[in-house]
Structure 1
C-alpha cells in the first residue's frame, strides 16, 4: 500500500500500550493516520504516543469492559474529530487453565475483556463510524477461535464469538445502509511482551509448532490489520484473515 494510504483517517486502537496494538498504531501513523490510543495502561500509552510520527494523536484511558468508559472515550473522539474512520478492537487477555479449573469469575473476566469489549466498542463507535462514509472495524480474534489449545477454553470461546460477531455486524451494517465494513483477524503465535514473559522454553516450543518455524512479529499482524482497514479492501467484508505461518493449515 502507498505510504499515505491512511492519510487523514482517524483511527482508534484498543490495547494500544504494547504488542500488536502498539505496532499497529505505529504502522497507521506511518501511513498518515491520526491515532486515538486506548488502554488501561496509561504509562504504556504515553510511551507509544511519544514514538508516533505525525501530530494530533491522543491517548485515552479505557477499560474496554466498561460501557461508561466507552461513552466517555467516544465523546472525546466526537468532540475532537467529528468522526471515526477505523476502529481496531485489539484489547484482549487470557490464561492457560483447564476448563475444570476455571472459576465462574475467570470465565466472566475473559469473556468480558475479549468479547463483551468488542460489542461495547462497536456499538459506542458506530454513530461516529457512520459519519465517515468509508469506515472499517477490525476485530482481533485468534487462531484459538478455530483450533483448540489446552487451557484455552474461555479464551477460545470468546475469540470464536468475536469472529461470529464480526460477521453479523458486517451483514447488518451492509443491509441497513451503514457504510461500515467489519472483519476479524486471527493471529497465530506472536512474539509480544506477554509471550517473552512466559520464558524462552515456551517461546521455543511455540515457534517449533509453526510450519514457518518461528513466531510472528507484531508488525506482521499490524500489516494484516492495515490491509483490512484500507480502501484496497473495499469489498472485503465479514471475513476472517488468518495470519499464523500456516499453523492452522496442518
Structure 2
C-alpha cells in the first residue's frame, strides 16, 4: 500500500532511549550527543576530557534535554566495566552506543617506531571492541539495540603516511560486520553499523592538515581530500541519529561512506 510505514509517529523520536557516546567532548562525538538529545534520547556523554564532557552535558540540559557525563579512557577495560556498572545502576539499560573516540598519527609500515601503531589501535580498535562488549551485555538482555561505530573513509584505501590509522579503521569496520552477523544469527534485533566520514571540520581535521602539510595550506589539503569542501560534524550526526532509530530497522552490518562521493 502506497504511503504505508511500519513505523508510526514522528519521523524520528528517541524519547525514552538511553544512549552513550564516546569521544563526546568534541567533534563528531559532541555533534552526535547534541543531535541524539534533540530527538529525545537521554545522552551519557563520555570522554577522557571530563571538563569537556561536562560542558556538553550542560549544553544538553540547558536546551531542555536529559544528559549525564562521565570520564572514560576507552583503552581501559577496567573503566569500561565501571562505566557499564554505572549505566546499569543508574538507568538499567543501554539502547544506543556511539563509539566515536578516535586518534590519528602519521606513520608508515616501514617505520622502526611501532608506538604510533600501538596507540592508534588501542584507542580506535580496543576502544571500539570494549565499548561493543559493554553495550552488548545490555542489548542482548533486552533483545534489541543499536551500535554505531565511527570508522573512516581512510579505511577504503592504503596510505603511505597514515598506515596505522587506515588499518585501525578498517579493523573497526570488520569488527562491526562480525558483530552484526553474530547478533542477527542469534535472533536479536541489535543493529550494528559503521560509518566512514571523509574530512570533517573537527579538531582531528587539524591533525590531518598537519600530516598533509606538504600539500600546502588547509584549502589545498581540502582540494586533495574532498570533492569541494570538508563536511560538518552535524552532517555526520544526522546519519548517526538515523541509524540509532527504528527508521533504520533493516540496516545492520553496513559500512556507510559519508564523504560527498570522495571515495566513490
TM interval, shorter chain, is over 0.9
Q: Deviations over 1:193-222 (max 9, x none)?
A: 232464795431232135641000000111
Provide the secondary structure at the position in 2 that maps to 1:180.
strand
Structure 1 residue 229: Cα displacement: 1.3
Q: Is the aligned partner of 1:219 residue 2:234?
A: yes
Hey, what does 1:57 align to over in structure 2? 67
Establish whether residue 245 from structure 1 lines up as the match of residue 253 from structure 2.
no
Q: Distance in 1 between matches of 2:147 and 2:257?
A: 16
Map 1:60-71 onto structure 2 (within 5 A).
Answer: 60-71=70-81
- Cross-structure match for 1:36: 44
Alpha-carbon separation, structure 2, partners of 1:92 and 1:156: 12
How many residues in Structure 1 have an aligned counterpart in Structure 2? 249
The alpha carbon displacement at 1:14 in A equals 0.4
**TM-score of the aligned structures, taking structure 2 as reference length:** 0.88
Deviation at 1:143, TM superposition (A): 0.5
Shifted more, 131-140 versus 114-123: the winner is 131-140
- SS at structure 2 position matched to 1:100: coil
Q: What SS does the corresponding residue of 2:263 show, helix, strand or coil?
A: helix
After TM superposition, which residue ranges in structure 1, 4 or more long, deviate above 6 angstroms? none
Helix, strand or coil at the partner of 1:213: coil
Describe the shift of the 1:232–1:22 C-alpha distance in structure 2 as closer, same or farther (beyond 3 A): same
**Contact 1:206/1:215, CA 8 A, preserved across alignment:** no
Provide the C-alpha distance between the structure 2 equivalents of 1:180 and 1:150, rounded to a whole number of angstroms: 36
Deviation at 1:107, TM superposition (A): 1.1
Match of 1:230 in 2: 245
SS at match of 2:128: helix
Instruction: Give the Cα–Cα distance (whole angstroms) in 1 for the partners of residues 221 and 245 of structure 2.
Output: 31
RMSD: 1.9
Structure of larger gyration radius: 2
1:55 CA displacement: 4.3
**Is the contact between residue 190 and residue 218 of structure 1 (CA under 8 Å) also seen in structure 2?**
yes
Aligned residues of 1:209 and 1:247 also touching (Cα < 8 A): no
Residue 181 of structure 2 aligns with which residue? Answer: 171
Unpaired runs of 5+ residues, structure 1, are: none
- Structure 2 residues without counterparts, runs of 5 or longer: 1-8
Sort the Cα spacing of 1:233 and 1:151 in 2 relative to 1 into closer, same or farther, 3 A.
same
Contact 2:41 2:66 in 1 (8 A): no
